[in-house]
């Protein structure tokens, strides 16, 4: 069995196998799979590379065949103390110091947002739309996952059985299709952010990956278990990788790798699936972590999770970062096409979600309110809408693709 690890160029030795292509501009100097020679290592040092991805052979875990009615034994491996990665005065971002921080929210909602908050359920029902997950079930799953993450941070123990139970319930509740909508409501406490964005990412992934239905439960449980690692990380590491300095990137990479190894030994999910979902932290241009993989080296599942996460991370307010609308969030993802994400992956998300998701509210250029009811795949900026009057009453349907006089002026935030 082989693993991929990042090794400092100064520590490379002849005979090691490359797990990535080495590029100089548009020229490939060394192909993935090449065995390093002393001359190669000197060349890598001349290029001023810090680290490269190397294939290493690891010992195959012993297969355990449980008796009927029993659960396979887990390895008794100590959970890494990830919260010790940062400065001693920097708390975990789900600690008591961070948990009760308020996130920004207008004291008085604008008229359009207030109307949407008051009438959204009736309007969506009138448009024939149904929630992707039943609101009550959604709230219970979010509450349960939030409690699991908080317990992990406080007691330094992870209840994988509870995470598995919530992942299965979430997956069983998902319903997609043209008539489903996803809620984009904000949250009021910073400590709820991890659970909220993990669940929303699972919905978006399930919505944009219809061909993955059979393995979706396993992928969701893997994603939720990996997200749990962030409960231990210092507050200083809860920001995009591109905004981290080198020391922070190293700390995050080492911490996530330690957690990944611990989780792998628990036999919580198939090892290959765990690896592919874990690689959601890689970037298409090779600037991600932990291995600096790029392009087609990143598996499709991991890449799709990365795009879903990037989209969802912008949709919730933090105490130092205002939220974005779904349109603004998808614009951010599109801007990263070719750098963080492949263009094909971004297009896949666009076709599933659209610039203005089903069930969201917009304001047209003439000031009239409208609810998005259907996407037009050949004109994503011009979906079909249901007009809404000033009292929040539903009106006629209007296909914006078939008119030049009406277009969307802005998106209304959901509260």
pLDDT for the residue numbered 142? 93
What is the rounded CA–CA span in Å between residue 271 and residue 183? 33
2 pLDDT band, cuts 50/70/90, is low
The domain limits of the chain are: 2-57, 82-108+129-353
Distance CA 358, CA 375 (A): 7
Structure tokens belonging to residue 13: 């030795």
Backbone angles phi, psi at 333, to 5 degrees: -65, -45
- Selection from 305, 82, 94, 96 nearest residue 192 by Cα: 94
Question: What is the model's pLDDT at position 76?
Answer: 56
Q: Which of 171, 152, 172 is nearest to 160 (CA)?
A: 152
The three-state secondary structure class of 6 is strand
Residue 131, H or E segment: strand 130-131
How far is residue 116's CA from residue 122's CA, in Å, rounded to a whole number? 10
Confidence (pLDDT) at 391: 94
CA distance 332 to 101: 26
Q: Please, what is the end-to-end C-alpha distance for the chain in angstroms?
A: 49
pLDDT per position as a tens digit, 107-128: 889 999 999 999 999 999 999 9
Q: State the fold for domain 2-57.
A: Molybdopterin biosynthesis moea protein, domain 2 (3.90.105)
Burial 373-394 (b: 16+ CB within 10 A, else e): bbbeeeebebbbbbbbeeeeeb
Is the model's pLDDT at 244 over the cut of 90?
no
pLDDT tens digit string along 57-102?
Answer: 543 433 333 333 333 444 456 777 665 555 554 666 666 667 777 8
Q: How far apart are CA 352 and CA 210, in angstroms?
A: 9
Query: Which ranges constitute the DSSP H helices of 129-215?
Result: 135-155, 160-173, 193-208
The pLDDT score that the predictor gives to residue 237 is 75
* Structure confidence at residue 17 (pLDDT): 85
Of all residues in the chain, the percent with pLDDT exceeding 70 is 87
Q: Alpha-carbon torsion 64, 215, 286, 240, what sign?
A: negative
Q: Which of 105-114, 313-322, 342-351, 353-362 has the lowest mean pLDDT?
A: 313-322
The predicted structure's pLDDT at residue 64: 33
Q: 262 — phi, psi (to 5°)?
A: -65, -45
Q: What is the pLDDT of residue 284?
A: 92
CA 333: distance to chain centroid? 12
Q: Which fold has domain 82-108+129-353?
A: Hypothetical protein af1432 (1.10.3210)
Angle between helices 135-155 and 160-173 (to 10 degrees): 160
Is residue 81 within 8 Å of residue 156, measured between CB atoms?
Answer: yes
pLDDT on residue 3: 63
Average pLDDT over residues 141-156: 87
C-beta atoms surrounding 367 within 10 Å: 9
Residues 109, 186: Cα–Cα separation, whole Å? 13
Tokens 């932990």: give the residue.
290
**pTM given for the model:** 0.78
- Measured CA to CA, the distance from residue 264 to residue 5 in angstroms comes to 15
Mean pLDDT of the chain: 84
Buried b (16+ CB within 10 A) or exposed e, 189-206: ebbbbbbbbbbbbbbbbb
Name the residue with tokens 């708390």.
Answer: 91
* pLDDT attached to residue 16: 81
What integer pLDDT is reported at residue 93 of this predicted model?
Answer: 66
pLDDT for 73: 45
pLDDT of 259 over the 80 cut = yes
Please state which of the ranges 42-56, 78-92, 253-267 shows the lowest mean pLDDT: 78-92
Question: How is residue 71 written in tokens?
Answer: 């659960």
Widest CA span in the chain? 75
């Amino acid at each position: 069995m082989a693993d991929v690890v990042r090794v400092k160029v100064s520590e490379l030795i002849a005979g090691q196998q490359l797990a990535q292509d080495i590029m100089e501009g548009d020229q490939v100097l060394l192909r993935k799979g090449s065995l390093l020679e002393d001359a190669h290592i000197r060349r890598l040092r001349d290029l001023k590379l810090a680290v490269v991805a190397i294939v290493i052979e690891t010992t195959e875990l012993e297969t355990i065949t449980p008796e009927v009615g029993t659960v396979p034994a887990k390895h008794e491996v100590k959970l890494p103390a990830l919260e010790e990665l940062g400065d001693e005065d920097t708390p975990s971002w789900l600690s008591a110091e961070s948990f009760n921080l308020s996130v920004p929210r207008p004291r008085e909602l604008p008229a359009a947002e207030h109307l949407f908050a008051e009438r959204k359920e009736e309007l969506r029902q009138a448009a024939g739309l149904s929630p992707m997950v039943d609101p009550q079930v959604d709230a219970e799953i979010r509450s349960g996952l939030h409690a699991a993450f908080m317990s992990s941070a406080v007691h330094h123990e992870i209840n994988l059985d509870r995470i598995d139970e919530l992942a299965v319930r979430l997956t069983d509740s998902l319903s997609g299709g043209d008539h489903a909508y996803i809620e984009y409501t904000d949250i009021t406490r910073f400590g709820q952010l991890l659970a909220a964005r993990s669940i929303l990412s699972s919905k978006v992934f399930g919505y944009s990956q219809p061909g993955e239905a059979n393995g979706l439960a396993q992928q969701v449980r893997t994603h939720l278990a990996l997200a749990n690692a962030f409960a231990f990380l210092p507050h200083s590491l809860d920001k995009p990788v591109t905004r981290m300095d080198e020391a922070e990137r190293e700390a995050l990479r080492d911490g996530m790798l330690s957690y990944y190894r611990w989780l792998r030994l628990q036999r919580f999910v198939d090892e290959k699936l765990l690896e592919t979902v874990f690689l959601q932290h890689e970037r298409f241009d090779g600037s991600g972590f932990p291995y600096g993989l790029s392009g087609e080296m990143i598996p499709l599942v991991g890449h799709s999770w990365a795009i879903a996460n990037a989209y969802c991370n912008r949709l919730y307010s933090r105490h130092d970062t205002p939220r974005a609308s779904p349109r603004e969030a998808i614009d951010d993802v599109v801007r990263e096409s070719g750098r963080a994400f492949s263009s094909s992956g971004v297009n896949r998300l666009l076709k599933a979600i659209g610039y203005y998701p089903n069930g969201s509210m917009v304001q047209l250029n003439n000031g009239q309110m409208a609810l998005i009811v259907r996407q037009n795949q050949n004109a994503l900026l011009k979906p079909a809408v249901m007009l809404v009057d000033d009292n929040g009453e539903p009106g006629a349907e209007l296909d914006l693709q078939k008119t030049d006089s009406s277009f969307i002026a802005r998106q209304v935030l959901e509260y």
